[in-house]
Amino acid sequence: MDVPNQHLKCLLERTDIAFKALLQEPDSVERNLAYEDAKKELDVFVSNLRSSLAQRKVG
């Protein structure tokens, strides 16, 4: 697996773990922050990947 895919796999796993933890303690501020941070990092990665792919398609 190449590096971007490995990084994506790690981000997905981190987000999934944070979400499952949040489900167990939905009122936890720490769990909410951990999930939001993981989700934000995943969103940024996906956005950057889409931008990179779009640039390749144009160029």
Higher-confidence position of 42 and 2: 42
Reported as a single tens digit per residue, the pLDDT across 3-58 is 778 999 999 999 999 999 999 999 999 999 999 999 999 999 999 989 998 888 87
Torsion of CA 19, 21, 23, 28, to 10 degrees: -110
pTM of the model: 0.83
